[in-house]
Every structure is written in structure tokens, then in C-alpha cells.
Structure 1
Amino acid sequence: MFKVRVIDHFSSAHNLRGYEGNCERLHGHNWKVEVELMGDKLDHIGMLVDFKVLKKSLKKIIDELDHTYLNEHPYFKDVNPTSENMAKYIFLRLKEDFGTLVHKVAVWESHNAVAEYFE
């Protein structure tokens, strides 16, 4: 099996609905997003996927989240914008471009707190 990983960052604000504690209030994070694709076949030039193509796809998603209030994003209108749900959202969006190659998405809300989504 082959695995490739790219990392990007963005900043946004959110508040957690129904949470009893500080995170219920409006606050922000400098998020780190790690994306892993995995597969057993390389293309004709020896790549699982072109890093440039993967980065462009992730950047498109990041750009719609960067410097926004996540609770107002259409996906998060009815879904609590937790790190877990953000990882799932990014995973599902990437799956539109890369299908079953998408292995895992990790979303870091701080240097020591990460949520991952995989299927």
C-alpha cells in the first residue's frame, strides 16, 4: 500500500451548541488539517496522486472555511461544528474528488488536541 499526506492550515471561529463550558461561547482556532490518501496502485509515472492536485482540492475546501464563523456555513447550520464533524466534512468533500483513496482526515484545534475521521 502507498500513502500520501498533505497538511494545510486555516483560522476560523465557532461555538459548540449544547456544550456546557467555555467552548459554548464564541471562540476561534488556528486549525491544522492533515489529509491522508492511500491505495495500492500508482499511476503511469509512479504517483498515487499528484501532490499539486491534492493540495489544490484541499485548498478549495480550506478557502471556504478560512476566516469564517463556522456555525453559519451551510453544512454546520444543523451539524455542531466540532473538530470531529469538521474532519468528517473535509473527508466527504475530498471523497468527491478522490473517491476511496481518501483514507483519513485529521483536524487539530490546538497543538495537543486532534480529531480524526476515516471510513
Structure 2
Amino acid sequence: MYGLKTEASFDSAHFLTDYYGKCENLHGHRWRAVVHLAVDDLQAEGTMKGMVLDFGVFKRAVRELAEALDHTFLVEEGSLAPATLAALEAEGFSLFIVPFRTTAENLARYFGDCLVEQGLPVSQVEMYETPNNCAVYRPQ
């Protein structure tokens, strides 16, 4: 088994719907996504012969995902009133609306699924919400 690992960070705000504690309020994180790839065999031919994947390709894919979320307000679809969304957009806020609760677990899965769709052999994604706390997602 061979593997690669890279990471990217992004800053964004969120809140948790139907949560009764501090995290129900708008707050921000310096999220850190650590992505692992795994393959049984290295590529046998072409420019990536002897590699899992070119690090440049891997890093670019992970960083593009992070960049899309950087300095955005992560919003669970249906969690804010349409008038609230319209007011935020009118003020120029960058909203990233997702069809899931904006937990570290779901963000790890989002990263993993997006990268798998791009053909990357993702074995694990760790999404750090704080320097010491992360959620882990392992695609099937």
C-alpha cells in the first residue's frame, strides 16, 4: 500500500442549527483539511510512472476546494430565512450554501466526496476545527 498526504487551510464562519450551546451562534474557525490518498500499486507508465499521483495535481485539487470555502459564511440550506440570506448577499457577504449541517464531520465528507469525484484515491480526510480536534471521514 502506498499513500500521499497533503493539507490546506481556510477560514470560514458557520453556526449549527438545532444545537443548544455556544455553537448555535455565528462563529468562525481556521479549518485545516488533511487529505490522504492510498493505492495498492504505483502507476506503471506515463509521466506519473512510479507515483501514487503527482503531488502538484494532488495539492492543487485540495487547495482549490479550500480556496472555494475561504472567507465564506458556510450556511446549511434552509437554516436562514430567505430575507436574511438576501440581506447578507445585499451587504456583499460571501455565502457558501450546502445541503448539510456544517459540522466538521460533514465538511470532511464534502472534501472527500469532491476529491473522489475528481478520480483521486482518497483513503481519509481529517477536518480540524481547532488545532487539537478533528473529524475523520473514510470514503467506502
Query: Which interval holds the TM-score relative to the shorter structure?
Result: over 0.9
Distance 1:49 1:61 in 2: 18
The one-character-per-residue Cα deviations of 1:78-104 (angstroms, maximum 9, x if unpaired) are: 3100000000000000001125x1101
**Percent of aligned pairs with the same residue?**
37
- Matched residue of 2:112: which SS? helix
Structure 1 runs of 4+ aligned residues shifted over 6 Å read: none
Distance 2:37 2:119 in 1: 8
Distance 1:106 1:73 in 2: 20
What residue ranges of structure 1 are gaps of 5+ in the alignment?
none
What TM-score do the two structures reach when normalised by structure 2? Answer: 0.79
- Matched residue of 1:69: which SS? strand
Q: 2:115 aligns with which of 90, 94, 112?
A: 94
**Are positions 1:73 and 2:73 aligned together?**
no
Bigger Rg, structure 1 or 2: 2
Q: How many residues are treated as equivalent by the alignment?
A: 116
Higher percent of residues as helix: 1
Could you say which residue in structure 2 is the equivalent of 1:116?
136
Q: CA RMSD in A?
A: 1.1
What residue ranges of structure 2 are gaps of 5+ in the alignment?
76-94
What TM-score do the two structures reach when normalised by structure 1? Answer: 0.92
The within-5 A match list for 1:1-119 is 1-43=1-43, 44=45, 45-71=49-75, 72-74=95-97, 76=98, 78-99=99-120, 101-118=121-138, 119=140
